[in-house]
């Protein structure tokens, strides 16, 4: 008996309750004296009962579905057949799993003869459990339905109650996203703490050499190989410096052109066209960077006499990332320039300022908080970007200011460490979590500050 079928049952029962409650409410209406009205429309009565059936049943089904595998195992282990099972944990687990698969029909037969005796107890436990599922959910649904049905009266405020329920469901939906994020953070913190138990945070945050060896003895890792400064530097150099040198001027200028000079018609297709850039998959930018821009950069470097230029460079990755980020900068700048009141612009023009003077001296200063916030969001996007650097920046953890050298970033190393050869509890692998945690904190900080700035800015013009 799968939970899906039980849920279907809940919906069916709910529908029955809905219909019953509705006809009951109609009956109230007919009995009511002329001119009297029900406190709520019949549909609200119907929904009230339906929700009282469906929600408790769903909750029960979820509870049942999550606990039943454990309960089944327990009852099988308690049976006589389980007495002869090996004591070693994983052997016992394997046997149980095998017997169970046969019992629920997902495997034709056992491979391990020892599992055979367990099949029958499993069959029994499963069918008993199914019975509990069906009966339990039916009883819960029935009780909910009857209880709510008995509450229906002509003056029953079903409408406000349904409203409250709808609100709680919506609240729950938004909590799911938040709780998931929290869960991610907690797991990140957990692994990070484990990592810092092996390598000290000082070595990690301030060391200048990065080269974890996943094959080394995990018991005493060499802390000098876990210095993340080159990664932080690579990330900042590519994402916050080179990319921004490209994205800030281009993004700002296109925003200014779009808000101040472009005719409405031109604007109406130029702006969406620019925003499409934000929708290009980053892997596409990645191979553009790796296959087109990087060789081009190298050729130029060679032609001006830098013979050892590598084909992977911070410059190539940064340039392409900058282009990718342009829409982020420009759309925020566009919004905040457009939000500066027309009166401000008129005031400046009426003083005899030209359009460009007005932009430079009035509009951009007035829109500056919004523009800065946009840049911060863009930076946080850039430093979290992975594909482009994986494909074009290289893996060498160089601490250098030369943009033609290969560099690596935090995101690249997270990928490299997690997909590397190290076992899961090796410090090399765990370092990925510490890196991810640092990245998370930095982007969270940037976004937080940016959103506050934007909010303050909005208030200034309201």
Partner 1 sequence: MVTVIHPNLEKTDAKMNAKDVSVYYGDKMAIDNVSIEIPTKYVTAFIGPSGCGKSTFLRTMNRMNDTIPSARVEGEITLDGEDIYKSKMDVVQLRARVGMVFQKPNPFPKSIYDNIAYGPKIHGIAEGKDELDAIVETSLQRAGLWNEVKDRLADSGTALSGGQQQRLCIARAIAVDPEVILMDEPCSALDPIATAKIEELIADLNGSYAIVIVTHSMQQAARVSQRTAFFHLGKMVEYGRTSDIFTNPLEQRTQDYITGRYG
List of residues contacting partner 1 (CB under 8 A): 263, 341, 343-354, 357, 361-362, 365-366, 460
Q: Which is nearer to partner 1, 269 or 296 (CB)?
A: 269
Q: Which is nearer to partner 1, 348 or 409 (CB)?
A: 348
Q: Which is nearer to partner 1, 181 or 356 (CB)?
A: 356
Residues sharing a CB contact under 8 Å with residue 85, sequence separation 6 or more, in sequence order = 77, 92, 95, 96, 114, 118
Q: Which is nearer to partner 1, 321 or 373 (CB)?
A: 373
Please report where in the chains the tokens 């409408």 appear, as a residue: 159
For 309, the 3-state DSSP assignment is coil
Minimal distance in Å, beta carbon 253 to partner 1? 21
Minimal distance in Å, beta carbon 28 to partner 1? 54
Minimal distance in Å, beta carbon 388 to partner 1? 38
Please report where in the chains the tokens 């301030």 appear, as a residue: 206
Alpha carbons 20 and 45: distance in angstroms, whole number: 10
Minimal distance in Å, beta carbon 432 to partner 1? 46
- DSSP calls for 349-415: HHTT--HHHHIIIIIHHHHHHHHHHHHHHHHHHHHH--HHHHHHT-S-------TTS----HHHHHH
Q: Which is nearer to partner 1, 294 or 367 (CB)?
A: 367
Alpha carbons 15 and 54: distance in angstroms, whole number: 9
Q: Which is nearer to partner 1, 37 or 456 (CB)?
A: 456
Please report where in the chains the tokens 């709780």 appear, as a residue: 179
Alpha carbon separation from 149 to 11, 37, 40, 169, 381 (Å, rounded): 17, 19, 15, 21, 53
Minimal distance in Å, beta carbon 387 to partner 1? 40
For 210, the 3-state DSSP assignment is strand
User: 34 phi and psi, to 5 degrees?
Assistant: -60, 140
Q: Which is nearer to partner 1, 264 or 281 (CB)?
A: 264
Q: Which is nearer to partner 1, 349 or 449 (CB)?
A: 349
The 3-state secondary structure of 100-125, one letter per residue: HHHHCCCCCCCCCHHHHHHHHHHHHH
Minimal distance in Å, beta carbon 351 to partner 1? 5
Q: Which is nearer to partner 1, 170 or 351 (CB)?
A: 351
Minimal distance in Å, beta carbon 359 to partner 1? 12
Minimal distance in Å, beta carbon 373 to partner 1? 16
> What 8-state DSSP symbol labels residue 226?
B
Alpha carbons 292 and 302: distance in angstroms, whole number: 16
Minimal distance in Å, beta carbon 272 to partner 1? 21
The widest CA-to-CA distance across the chain, in whole angstroms, is 99
Minimal distance in Å, beta carbon 269 to partner 1? 18
Q: Which is nearer to partner 1, 272 or 352 (CB)?
A: 352
Alpha carbons 116 and 123: distance in angstroms, whole number: 12
User: 33 phi and psi, to 5 degrees?
Assistant: -65, 155
Buried b / exposed e along 109-142 (16+ C-beta atoms within 10 A): ebeeebbebbbebbbebbeebbeebeebbbebbe
Residue 330 · residue 254 · CB < 8 Å: yes
Question: Two tokens at 26?
Answer: 């109609």
């Amino acid at each position: 008996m799968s939970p899906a079928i039980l849920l279907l049952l809940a919906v069916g029962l709910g529908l029955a309750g809905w219909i019953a409650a509705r006809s009951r409410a109609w009956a109230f209406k007919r009995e009511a004296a002329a001119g009297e009205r029900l406190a709520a429309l019949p549909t609200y009565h119907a929904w009230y009962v339906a929700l009282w059936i469906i929600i408790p049943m769903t909750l029960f089904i979820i509870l049942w579905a999550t606990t039943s595998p454990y309960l089944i195992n327990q009852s099988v282990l308690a049976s006589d057949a389980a007495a002869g099972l090996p004591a070693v944990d994983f052997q016992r687990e394997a046997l149980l799993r095998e017997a169970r698969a046969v019992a629920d029909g997902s495997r034709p037969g056992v491979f391990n003869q020892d599992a055979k005796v367990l099949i029958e107890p499993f069959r029994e436990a499963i069918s008993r459990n199914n019975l509990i599922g069906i009966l339990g959910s039916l009883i819960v649904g029935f009780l909910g339905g009857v209880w709510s049905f008995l509450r229906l009266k002509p003056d029953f405020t079903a409408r406000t109650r349904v409203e409250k329920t709808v609100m709680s469901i919506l609240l729950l939906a938004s909590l799911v996203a938040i709780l998931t994020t929290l869960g991610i953070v907690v797991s990140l913190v957990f692994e990070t703490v484990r990592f810092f138990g092996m390598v000290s945070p000082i070595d990690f945050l301030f060391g200048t050499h990065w080269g974890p060896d996943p094959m080394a003895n995990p018991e005493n890792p060499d802390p000098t190989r876990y210095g993340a400064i080159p990664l932080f530097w690579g990330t900042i150099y590519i994402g916050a410096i080179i990319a921004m040198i490209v994205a800030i001027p281009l993004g700002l200028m296109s925003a200014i052109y779009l808000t101040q000079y472009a005719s409405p018609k031109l604007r109406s297709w130029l702006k969406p066209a620019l925003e499409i850039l934000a929708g290009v998959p980053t892997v596409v930018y990645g191979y553009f960077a790796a296959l087109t821009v990087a060789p081009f950069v190298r050729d130029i470097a060679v032609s001006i006499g830098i013979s050892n230029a590598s084909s992977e460079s911070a410059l190539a990755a940064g340039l392409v990332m900058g282009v990718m980020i342009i829409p982020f900068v420009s759309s925020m700048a566009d919004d905040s320039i457009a939000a500066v009141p027309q009166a401000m612009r008129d005031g400046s023009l009426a003083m005899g300022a030209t359009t460009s003077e007005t932009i430079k001296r009035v509009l951009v200063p007035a829109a500056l908080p919004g523009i800065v916030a946009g840049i911060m969001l863009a930076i946080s996007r850039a430093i979290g970007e992975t594909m482009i650097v994986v494909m074009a920046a290289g893996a060498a953890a160089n601490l250098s200011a030369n943009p033609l050298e290969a560099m690596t970033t935090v995101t690249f190393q997270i990928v490299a460490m997690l997909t590397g050869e190290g076992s899961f509890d090796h410090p090399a692998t765990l370092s990925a979590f510490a890196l991810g945690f640092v990245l998370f904190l930095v982007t969270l900080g940037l976004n937080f500050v940016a959103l506050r700035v934007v909010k303050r800015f909005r208030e200034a013009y309201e």
